[in-house]
Chain A
């Protein structure tokens, strides 16, 4: 029998009507991105102030006092303690009692006056990168403007150089220095994984559990018509979700868009397709909705943990990296970052595209193997 467009359209229409009536699912589809956007959006926008800071000062000049006072008044830093030695400083960082450790070297003031650009070492606990971003950005500004004021007059010529000090920021515990921008690709990826796999996973098992599958099977509808017809509404939903998140990212959170938006939609479609095939396969394998849901979460957890969304990918042990590289989300994060932040082209993206396609092929193979054409 041949593929029938009339039957296919019939299935799509039915799915849309059912989706419209299923308030809970519909709410989830719109609600998940909105809630996550608000939650993470807050994280992106958050501008934490009064971060605990420890200072190890080996210089007693007026300049170092000026610098510390300026840091305090900026509102970003709350100087908790002036420590006497490096070990204490290290311990406070390791325990997380302070977010920043500032080390002012010997002869800071003298070197400054001589125009030798003394080193100011700032160690930051970057395990929560969103927390320190603004403070670090502000620090350079605070240092140069406060010191420049003090240096005025006889030392005016020193202002000519970009900054009177050589500030070195060490991000600790998160060498990659994941930025808040990473949250947008991550959000796109997790929301799509969640909704696409879950919704399609439920699509077939729901029919089976309610007994309507028997009716569907007794009509001439072909498996390919049923499967693809059920997928279409979710592709559209996925695209709506993506648009929602991307627009919010651009407008509200000022995430740059270096690359081609069409390219972004192209890789999004590939990613959606991979997740939908997985969902349909889950629902072919699962006996009921609960099992399908369990499979989804079983897949969702490693996707979140091992893809580089939660933890920096290169910071993970080898086995975890290897596992992570099997997951579409891992490559999707690379793709979206590449397009939005670096303006990558298709050529440059290919190494992250083919693993998703390969994943899809394997999953389709498994799914067709399990698809039941009868009630057996």
Chain B
């Protein structure tokens, strides 16, 4: 009998890198996960591969199933079907091991508002059975500049500070993988920048991050992106790859606000135009075919109060286009 044929204990198999999914470099490797609530099919055939040290952006409109997908990855929800691994552990059977090594930051602040910052961190440290609890809490307080506020009740913190605390709490046990669910929603721009500095620092240390967001500038700071709508994964790839999924062409037009509103209505649904988006005092008119797009907009070129120029299609244009071509009729 060769060693390979001998039966192994399950725990042993889990520790053996050869048995960690097909590729040890993949911290998340799931295939065709499905989840329904009642009759509502919330996540459909969700497959995702995240490499070690990667910052993976997770985008999609509200209610598209991002939170549900993340919860399935860390064992908080049981998929109806599908299989896969997270940090090499089975997402259905080995949720206990996953929980120990993953840091999950919930979309809604979910620490205890009637505990102080320090008490929250100490509690979390205890839950992970950390031996060096005191030092870990002290260094987390120091690193995130929470030291002066350590005795403040979490419920009295402002949004930005709550977000810092939540991040500190989910990183306390030094997880290998962070799952961050809209961590910067409702946080001011400076705090968002600081936050992303922090995330890039972590990635440099080999920690992998899956982060859901609505902000396009944040999407651009990720190594890879996934876009989900109506529970379906519509696109994955690097920001550059996603940007060039379609040969999108865009014209920008500026003018009187009232005229622009009327123009948007006129252009909407015209042949050659896939969508029209307002950005402050400009409209972005986007289409897939250069000639057809130009044909649609050229009749307005002579209008004297409008200034037309060619523009780059952005990620947002791609996502809007994706949404429109998605088979939403299924809903």
Identify the A interface with B (CB < 8 A): 1, 4, 6-7, 9-10, 13-14, 17-18, 21-22, 210-221, 374-376
Is B77 a contact of A14 with CB atoms below 8 Å?
A: no
Determine the residue in chain A with the shortest Cβ distance to B170: A218
B327 interface hit (Cβ, 8 Å): no
Query: Which residues of the partner chain A approach B115 to less than 8 Å between Cβ atoms?
Result: 14, 17-18
Kindly identify which residue among A4, A7, A13, A375 contacts B76, using a CB–CB cutoff of 8 Å: A375
B270 interface hit (Cβ, 8 Å): no
CB distance from B182 to the nearest CB of A (A): 14
Is B76 a contact of A217 with CB atoms below 8 Å?
A: yes
CB distance from A17 to the nearest CB of B (A): 6
Kindly identify which residue among B77, B126, B127 contacts A376, using a CB–CB cutoff of 8 Å: B77
Query: Which residues of the partner chain A approach B231 to less than 8 Å between Cβ atoms?
Result: none
Query: Which residues of the partner chain B approach A10 to less than 8 Å between Cβ atoms?
Result: 122-123, 126-127
Considering the complex of A and B, which 10 residue pairs feature the smallest CB-CB distances, nearest first?
A: A10-B126, A219-B127, A215-B110, A218-B104, A211-B110, A1-B96, A220-B99, A21-B114, A220-B100, A375-B76
B108 interface hit (Cβ, 8 Å): yes
For window 88-145 of chain B, which residues contact chain A by CB distance below 8 Å? 96, 99-100, 102, 104, 106, 108-115, 119, 122-124, 126-129
Is A13 a contact of B123 with CB atoms below 8 Å?
A: yes
B26 interface hit (Cβ, 8 Å): no
Is A212 a contact of B76 with CB atoms below 8 Å?
A: no
Is A219 a contact of B99 with CB atoms below 8 Å?
A: yes
8 contacts between A and B (CB under 8 A): A14-B115, A14-B123, A215-B111, A217-B76, A218-B74, A218-B76, A218-B102, A219-B127
Over the window 56-74 of chain B, the binary record of Cβ atoms lying under 8 Å from chain A Cβ atoms (1 yes, 0 no) is: 0000000000000001001
Is B126 a contact of A375 with CB atoms below 8 Å?
A: no
B78 interface hit (Cβ, 8 Å): yes
Is B129 a contact of A374 with CB atoms below 8 Å?
A: no
Query: Which residues of the partner chain B approach A375 to less than 8 Å between Cβ atoms?
Result: 71, 76-77
Q: How many angstroms between the C-alpha atoms of A214 and B119 in the bound complex? A: 18
Q: How many angstroms between the C-alpha atoms of A213 and B111 in the bound complex? A: 9
Q: How many angstroms between the C-alpha atoms of A211 and B181 in the bound complex? A: 14
B75 interface hit (Cβ, 8 Å): yes
Kindly identify which residue among B108, B113, B129 contacts A220, using a CB–CB cutoff of 8 Å: B129
Over the window 276-308 of chain B, the binary record of Cβ atoms lying under 8 Å from chain A Cβ atoms (1 yes, 0 no) is: 000000000000000000000000000000000
A-B contact count (CB 8 A): 72
Query: Which residues of the partner chain A approach B71 to less than 8 Å between Cβ atoms?
Result: 375
Query: Which residues of the partner chain A approach B109 to less than 8 Å between Cβ atoms?
Result: 211
Query: Which residues of the partner chain B approach A9 to less than 8 Å between Cβ atoms?
Result: 126
Is A374 a contact of B76 with CB atoms below 8 Å?
A: yes
CB distance from A221 to the nearest CB of B (A): 5
CB distance from A351 to the nearest CB of B (A): 44
CB distance from A242 to the nearest CB of B (A): 27
Q: How many angstroms between the C-alpha atoms of A215 and B113 in the bound complex? A: 12
**Best-surrounded residue of A211, A212, A219 (most CB of chain B within 10 A):** A219
Q: How many angstroms between the C-alpha atoms of A301 and B112 in the bound complex? A: 33
Query: Which residues of the partner chain A approach B123 to less than 8 Å between Cβ atoms?
Result: 10, 13-14
Query: Which residues of the partner chain A approach B106 to less than 8 Å between Cβ atoms?
Result: 211, 214-215, 218
Given the known inter-chain contacts A14-B115, A14-B119, A374-B75, please indicate yes or no for A212 contacting B127, CB distance below 8 A. Answer: no
Query: Which label, helix, strand, loop or mixed, suits the secondary structure of the A interface?
Result: helix
Query: Which label, helix, strand, loop or mixed, suits the secondary structure of the B interface?
Result: loop
Is A220 a contact of B114 with CB atoms below 8 Å?
A: no
Is B114 a contact of A18 with CB atoms below 8 Å?
A: yes
Q: How many angstroms between the C-alpha atoms of A13 and B106 in the bound complex? A: 23
Q: How many angstroms between the C-alpha atoms of A340 and B59 in the bound complex? A: 68
Is B96 a contact of A214 with CB atoms below 8 Å?
A: no
Is B77 a contact of A212 with CB atoms below 8 Å?
A: no
Query: Which residues of the partner chain B approach A13 to less than 8 Å between Cβ atoms?
Result: 123, 126
Given contacts A211-B110, A214-B106, A218-B99, 15 further A-B contacts (CB under 8 A): A10-B127, A13-B123, A13-B126, A14-B112, A14-B123, A17-B119, A18-B115, A214-B108, A215-B111, A216-B127, A218-B102, A218-B104, A374-B76, A376-B77, A376-B78
Query: Which residues of the partner chain A approach B77 to less than 8 Å between Cβ atoms?
Result: 374-376
Q: How many angstroms between the C-alpha atoms of A374 and B98 in the bound complex? A: 14
Query: Which residues of the partner chain A approach B78 to less than 8 Å between Cβ atoms?
Result: 374, 376
Given the known inter-chain contacts A14-B123, A17-B115, A220-B96, please indicate yes or no for A7 contacting B110, CB distance below 8 A. Answer: no
CB distance from B131 to the nearest CB of A (A): 9
Q: How many angstroms between the C-alpha atoms of A375 and B70 in the bound complex? A: 12
Determine the residue in chain B with the shortest Cβ distance to A375: B76
CB distance from B172 to the nearest CB of A (A): 10
Query: Which residues of the partner chain B approach A215 to less than 8 Å between Cβ atoms?
Result: 106, 110-111
Q: How many angstroms between the C-alpha atoms of A260 and B110 in the bound complex? A: 48
Q: How many angstroms between the C-alpha atoms of A7 and B133 in the bound complex? A: 12
CB distance from A231 to the nearest CB of B (A): 17
Is B114 a contact of A7 with CB atoms below 8 Å?
A: no
Query: Which residues of the partner chain B approach A211 to less than 8 Å between Cβ atoms?
Result: 106, 108-110
Q: How many angstroms between the C-alpha atoms of A13 and B124 in the bound complex? A: 12
CB distance from A1 to the nearest CB of B (A): 5
Q: How many angstroms between the C-alpha atoms of A7 and B127 in the bound complex? A: 5
Q: How many angstroms between the C-alpha atoms of A217 and B77 in the bound complex? A: 10
Q: How many angstroms between the C-alpha atoms of A18 and B114 in the bound complex? A: 6
Q: How many angstroms between the C-alpha atoms of A214 and B104 in the bound complex? A: 10
Query: Which residues of the partner chain B approach A210 to less than 8 Å between Cβ atoms?
Result: 110, 113
Query: Which residues of the partner chain B approach A220 to less than 8 Å between Cβ atoms?
Result: 96, 99-100, 127-129
CB distance from A214 to the nearest CB of B (A): 5
Query: Which residues of the partner chain B approach A214 to less than 8 Å between Cβ atoms?
Result: 76, 106, 108, 110
Query: Which residues of the partner chain B approach A217 to less than 8 Å between Cβ atoms?
Result: 76
Q: How many angstroms between the C-alpha atoms of A211 and B110 in the bound complex? A: 5
Query: Which residues of the partner chain A approach B100 to less than 8 Å between Cβ atoms?
Result: 220
Q: How many angstroms between the C-alpha atoms of A213 and B71 in the bound complex? A: 13
Query: Which residues of the partner chain A approach B127 to less than 8 Å between Cβ atoms?
Result: 7, 10, 216, 219-221
Determine the residue in chain A with the shortest Cβ distance to B100: A220
Is A6 a contact of B126 with CB atoms below 8 Å?
A: yes
Q: How many angstroms between the C-alpha atoms of A17 and B154 in the bound complex? A: 13
Query: Which residues of the partner chain A approach B102 to less than 8 Å between Cβ atoms?
Result: 218
Determine the residue in chain A with the shortest Cβ distance to B101: A220
Query: Which residues of the partner chain A approach B110 to less than 8 Å between Cβ atoms?
Result: 210-215
Q: How many angstroms between the C-alpha atoms of A219 and B106 in the bound complex? A: 12
Kindly identify which residue among A18, A219, A374 contacts B128, using a CB–CB cutoff of 8 Å: A219
Q: How many angstroms between the C-alpha atoms of A376 and B95 in the bound complex? A: 14
